[in-house]
Structure 1
């Protein structure tokens, strides 16, 4: 029998990723500079065989797909593991508040960083409970 609380939790967490993935797909041109900067900062720009826009599209589509399967309870553990990997990369690339000087921007990115940490915690909780 399906645990109603866990099913609701999957739907709520899944909706976060569906929305975030859709937002990335719709606003990908706005995000390319962010990805370019992150690739340069971490020294991987020459090693990645895709453009920033392609990476954003792949990440956005993956979040929509895995968020949907998580929300519907289709292979939820596999979905959660995939989303954990995606949120880890996204968080490191987009919300590196520790590198920012401006207090307002630093606070904004710190809030987004910890929002992603909380989402990761929800995914880990889903993975570690039965039902």
Structure 2
């Protein structure tokens, strides 16, 4: 792991670990914030109608995935989980478009954009293969290899069939000469 990854991952993860712990310990602070989004999206997605449970679950996910990212364990999965937790958190906590007060609207917009920047960092971390080929590249290699193997097998089968046909004709000619 490069020095940049070793330093950047814990830096990116720190906010999620601290914020997740706060959400888990003190969900009441966030339940009022979550409720409007839960009322809009909850029935469609099939979420339980318990904002406190959802805030705590989000906090646990943030702590677990943030810790994994900080330690460099399963960083792509951890980053993906953190990105998934950040989207509803940002939409629920920073709806600057609903604010009427210009000063409050500006504050919410800054927080929204900060979270958008974090989301960008998480998406980069989620696709970071550390210089090794990703799954798509590996799948393409396996597919190409399987295609070559199938083509070679078909070619060898044709050659074997032709050789068997030649051998059969030769044996037939030899048998006619032996009889005649």
What is the aligned-residue RMSD (CA, Å)?
1.7
Indicate the residue corresponding to 2:36 in structure 1.
37
Relative contact order (alpha carbons < 8 A, sep ≥ 6): 1 or 2 greater?
A: 1
Q: Shift of the alpha carbon at 1:50?
A: 4.1
Q: Shift of the alpha carbon at 1:62?
A: 0.5
Call closer, same or farther: CA 1:57–1:76 in 2, change over 3 Å.
same
CA contact (8 A) 1:36 1:45 kept: no
Indicate the residue corresponding to 2:178 in structure 1.
none
Map 1:59-98 onto structure 2 (within 5 A): 59-98=58-97
Q: Match of 1:44, SS?
A: helix
Higher CA-based Rg: 2
TM-score, structure 1 normalization: 0.89
Question: Which contiguous aligned blocks of 4+ residues in structure 1 show a shift greater than 6 angstroms?
Answer: none
Map 1:1-131 onto structure 2 (within 5 A): 2-40=1-39, 42=40, 44=42, 47-131=46-130
Give the gaps of 5 or more residues in structure 2.
131-180
TM-score, structure 2 normalization: 0.66
Provide the aligned length of Structure 1 versus Structure 2: 129
Q: Match of 2:78, SS?
A: helix
Distance 1:78 1:129 in 2: 11
Give the gaps of 5 or more residues in structure 1.
none
1:93-124 deviation digits (Å, cap 9, x = unpaired): 21111111111221121111111111111112
CA contact (8 A) 1:38 1:94 kept: no
Moved more, 87-96 or 53-62: 87-96
